[in-house]
Amino acid sequence: MSRLYIDGAWFDAASGETRSIINPFDGSEIARVAEGGQADARAAIISARRAFDNGPWSQTTGAERADLLVALADAIAANREELARLETTDTGKTTEESRWDMDDVAAVFNYYAGLAREEAPEVLEAPDPNGKSIAVREPVGVCGLILPWNYPLLQASWKLAPALAAGCTVVMKPSELTPLTTLRLTELCEEVGFPNGVINTVLGPGATVGAELAENHSVDLLSFTGGSQTGRTIMGAAAGNLKRVALELGGKNPHIIFADADFDVAVDYALNAVFFHAGQICSAGAKLLVESPIHDAFVETLSARMKAINVGNGADPDTRMGPLISAAHRQKVEDHVALALSEGATLAVGGARPNDPALANGFFYLPTLLTGCTPEMTISREEVFGPVIGVERFDSEAEAIGRANDTVYGLSAGFWTTDEARIERVSRALRFGTVWANDFNVYFPAAPWGGYNQSGIGRELGRAGLDEYTELKHIYRNHTPKAFGWFGADD
């Protein structure tokens, strides 16, 4: 049975409780893991605090930390296939997608190793020629990392790699649904030789383990990826010691197809933008805005392609879309579709579970297309987090921009046009953390990722993602101090 990793050793939960981990393809048990609780979270925080305050880790050089990060990236690459298969069994996504994830995970550790090596103080122009002024970045301290279930290891790497590169110590809490690759990563961290207490992994529910990480005053920073409502709760809980909070939350991401777009490529990307991992992607382009002159032809071609998507076991190389993560999550998706229909949307494709008996025990839902969506409908405003596209028709650039920006979210947006001037205008006009022109869902380690508005606070990836895990200190040194003679000195 898989256990909790605290201060360099593996433990059962203090309560002795365990949890069954389910394969969403067929509902079978794939593992039993320790189900941690508040006491385990506290033990892990104490371990991380001790390692930060007493250990050598926070005083190591960037180059020393980089060596371990590269060793970890190498270990991930060496275990790519095993990790990918584990991720697929745990999440249901196709093995090919999981392989891409593992390549991205290794790339993120290598990228932050590079930044750790470059670490150097910034020399400032001092106001006095006898002064020397530098700004240095120092690790922020103990970090709680709370992870979602959709990209378990990738999301872990976006937090863990910069936290370690900065010299922080961490307590990781994977989603209770998908802990297996995070546990395997923890083993790899142990193998490559991170000091005891630097990395701690505690499994368990958000309400106990997650809440403790958010509330505990020995935690200096809380980085969370998950739903917006949970983000709000965490922000409130974190206020007790005013810990730093980084939140990567949900989105309702507009995908705009102008009439002058390259039609066939845009159709292809309308699919790519949503159906990877059955739409359980925070940046899914599920709000599809299509300009009137091409609307009907676009919907028709899209429908034909959607009906041909091969839904099945992610471990089968012919599968293009796997199941949803759980029965409860599928129910939420079904409720969204029912509400959309009751609000006046038209069902063009899907809207049901597949009737293949081989998929009956899994949490499957067919690729679904809703047309005739209008801006006031719930489907046009709220995140579904499933394989569902809602199509809206628009008539002008201004209307498309206005509708896209009319959201409480602001994670990502994409658009398709062959007009160069429009590319510049629309890229600037869209109020989102990431905007893709003639592409969608492009991520790479150097590009900052995060949301405007209620899609989050802070940034992951890029240099900004490292800065989140540092404090900025100004050090001023006077080389030739002289008395100033202002207070109480004789004239």
Residues involved in catalysis: 248, 282
Q: Among residues 185 and 266, whose Cβ is nearest to ligand NAD?
A: 185
Q: Is 385 near ligand NAD (CB under 6 A)?
A: yes
Token pair belonging to 25: 């393809």
Q: To the nearest whole angstrom, how small is the minimum distance from the Cβ of residue 234 to ligand NAD?
A: 5
| Helices vs. strands in the chain: H and E counts, helices first | 15, 20
87 near ligand NAD (CB under 6 A): no
For the CB of residue 155, give the shortest distance to ligand NAD in the complex, in Å.
Answer: 6
* One character per residue 425-464, x = contact with ligand NAD (rule: CB under 6 A): --------------------------x----x--------
Site for ligand NAD in 136-195 (CB under 6 A): 146-151, 155, 173, 175-176
Closest contact distance (angstroms) between CB of 370 and ligand NAD is: 19
Structure-block tokens of residue 14 = 């203090």
**Which residue carries 């201004």 as its tokens?**
398
**Whether 139 contacts 127, CB under 8 Å:** no
Give the residue with the Cβ less far from ligand NAD, 332 or 479. 332
Q: How many CB atoms lie within 10 A of CB 6?
A: 24
> Binding ligand NAD by CB under 6 A: which of 87, 119, 383, 468?
383
189-228: which residues touch ligand NAD (CB under 6 A)?
Answer: 205-207, 210-211, 214, 225-227
Contact 44, 169 (CB under 8 A): no
Does 235 bind ligand NAD (CB under 6 A)? Our answer is no
User: By rule CB under 6 A, what count of residues binds ligand NAD?
Assistant: 32
Nearest to 59 by CA among 157, 166, 161, 135: 166
Q: Which is nearer to ligand NAD, 146 or 221 (CB)?
A: 146
Tell me the C-alpha distance between 25 and 91, whole Å: 9
Interacting span for ligand NAD (CB under 6 A) from 71-79, 246-254, 439-447, 473-481: 246-254
How many CA atoms, within 13 angstroms, populate the side-chain half-sphere of residue 424? 2
Residue type, 324: L
Burial of 193 (0-12, 13-18, 19+ CB in 10 A): exposed
Which residues, in sequence order, are bridge partners of residue 21?
31
Report the site for ligand NAD in 269-308 (rule: CB under 6 A): 282
Residues of 15-30 as b/e, b for ≥16 C-beta within 10 angstroms?
A: eeebbebbbbbbeeee
Q: How far is the CB of 251 from ligand NAD (least distance, A)?
A: 6
Residues found near ligand NAD in the complex (CB under 6 A): 146-151, 155, 173, 175-176, 205-207, 210-211, 214, 225-227, 230, 233-234, 248-251, 282, 383, 385, 411, 451, 456
